[in-house]
Structures are given as structure tokens and as C-alpha cells.
Amino acid sequence: MAGRAAMLVNLGTVVMTVLTLASFVEGFGVNWGNIASHPLNPDIVVRMLKENKINKVKLFDADSWTMNALAGSGMEVMVGIPNNLLETLADDYGNAKDWVKENITAYMRKDGVNIKYVAVGNEPFLSAYNGSYLKTTFPALKNIHRALKEAGHTDVMKATIPQNAEVYQSANDKPSEGDFRSDVKQIMLDIVKFFHDNDLPFTVNIYPFLSLYLNQHFPVEYAFFDGNGQTIPDNGKNYDNVFDANYDTLVYALNKAGIKDMKIIVGEVGWPTDGHKYATPKLAEKFYAGLMKRLAKDVGTPLRPEKLEVYLFGLLDEDMKSILPGPFERHWGIFR
């Protein structure tokens, strides 16, 4: 317990809210990013995760030091492929086959790594990228899926593409008007059809904080789960928070694509603790308290009332991240 106590530095109520409720929640994980000037030893991080009963982790690469630290832990792992590898993997199936051999198959041994998902890219269709990955993401996904299948791994793991919620939108902010963004609509339709045909999940990153940050007129309470803000009626469903509305906007977009039952994973959701007037430990605690209580009850959204699969963002503050989106980018950590 001394080691655990030493890690719970300064975030106080945020950490304790997550960890106190964690024992009542199954199926949630954390994002483990490492864009830091002094990254923690992966062995320490894995021990910290296990001591705090967090048994699922999402990575942004396949760093061997991190992967070896996870070997034998039993933790479910989503391994990431950075965007800068998408072109290489898209251009040559042999490259994808080699990547799978070196970063997946190498850990599929007794007391190896419990890899459940392979994340191909990270938010590759973000509008800020100006279409840089539009031509490479889907071919890279298909090559990685094929390589995983040929290696005999698809019975235990699935490929996916973590997308920012920006890839879909609603003209009037009501979920029922949800559809994929016009400039990426055709490629998204192709991707979700491939997901459906191969039983792959849709992964989406949803950030209520950013709704508040990007719109000065956004109703503050609508970013939380307390039900204290406005309620928006839509097609017989009532929405009292932006997370539910955002998630169900995706459900409607999938429905319009003819897909009714696709598994959805929330790849990132969280609240920063510094760098903006709304990025405070107090509001982070409020957000996580509502989210974790929701997860503990196995209550989903109005359109998808079943249990949610969620990865919190993120595990640790990352002091080398770009602050172009805002200073808060370096302060998403539950732990410091």
C-alpha cells in the first residue's frame, strides 16, 4: 500500500473518486500515454494499475518496454499504431505482416500480453489534419486485419480505428439528425461496412470538456451527469448530458448507414485538471463521479441502454504534449 499511496499525488478527490468507485465498475480502462519529459518506469505503472484494480489499458504505440512490462499481468490491452506508420502499412501488405509479427505475435505466448484490440491510427480524420490520413487509414486497417487473421489472432483480438467524435455531427444538435461529416462520409461508410462484415468495433473519443471549451454559450451543467441542466427531447428520448447525446448521435449515424448492432467502444473520455477556467480538480471530480456512478450501474445511453465499454483519458499528465489545442492538453492525468 505504501507504493500505491506514493502515487496518489495532489489530485486528491479526483483520484479517490475514480479509485473508490473502480471496485464497483467492470469494463473500464485507462489510456496510458507517454509524451512526458520524465516518463515513469513501465514496471511501476503496471504495478500501480494492478494495485488500483484497473485491468484494462489503451496504448498509443507498441513500445517493447511497455509491452514487456504488461506481459503476465493479465490486463486487457489495446495496442496502438501511430498515424505516422499508416502510409507504410497501407502501401505494402508485407509491412503490415511484419508489424503484426513483431508487435503482436511476439507477445502471444504463455504469460504474454493479453492483447484484445489493435488501434490503427489515432483520430486520423480530425479536421485539423487537413485530410493527411484520408487515403491511408482504411488500407492500413485492411492490411492489419488481414495480417492478424492470417496469424490466427482474430479469434481473440479485433482491429479498430479510434475516431474523434468530430467525424459525425448533427445539424440541430439533436442525436436523431446525426450523420457522418460530409467530407469523410463516403470513407466512413466504407469503413463501418468493413467493420460490420468482419465483426470489428467502432471506437470513438468523446470529450464533454471540449464542448464546453469550444463554445462559450454551452450550458455548463450539460457537460456533467448530474441531470441539473437542461433536458433535450428527441424522438421520444430525453437527453440531460452531452455525453449521451454525442454517443447516440453516432448510433443514429450508424443506423443511417444501415448498421443497427455494431459494438461501440469509448476510446477516450475524461476531464483535465489545469490549463483553463473549467479545467480544475473540482470539476474533474464532478465529471468522474458522475461517469463512474453511471458505469457502476451498467446504464448506457437512451438509444443503447446496455453496459458501456470505456477508457478514461488519461492515466498520467504528459508535460511534452502540444498545447496548440490549449494548455489543458498537458493535464488530463488522473495521476500526476
pLDDT at 13: 58
293, 24 Cβ separation under 8 angstroms: no
- Would you call 123 a catalytic residue per the annotation? yes
Look at strands 264-269 and 309-312 and give their pairing.
parallel
Cell representation of residue 274: 489545469
CA 132, CA 93: separation in Å to the nearest integer? 20
Quote the pTM value. Answer: 0.94
Question: Could you read off the pLDDT of 211-254 as tens digits, one per residue?
Answer: 999 999 999 999 999 988 789 999 999 999 999 999 999 999 99
Question: Could you read off the pLDDT of 147-168 as tens digits, one per residue?
Answer: 999 999 999 999 999 999 999 9
233, 274 Cβ separation under 8 angstroms: no
Write down the catalytic residue from 76, 150, 268, 285.
268
3's enclosing H/E stretch is helix 2-7
Write down the catalytic residue from 76, 123, 285, 309.
123
Instruction: For the beta carbon of residue 64, count every other beta carbon within 10 angstroms.
Output: 13
- CA separation, residue 93 to residues 1, 97, 143, 149, 307 (Å): 47, 6, 6, 13, 36
Question: Could you read off the pLDDT of 254-312 as tens digits, one per residue?
Answer: 999 999 999 999 999 999 999 999 999 999 999 999 999 899 888 899 999 999 999 99
- CA separation, residue 310 to residues 52, 181, 265 (Å): 17, 23, 6
- Would you call 268 a catalytic residue per the annotation? yes
Return the amino acid letter for 275. Answer: G
Strands (E), 188-308: 202-205, 232-234, 237-239, 264-269
Instruction: Reduce the DSSP state of residue 321 to 3 states and report it.
Output: coil
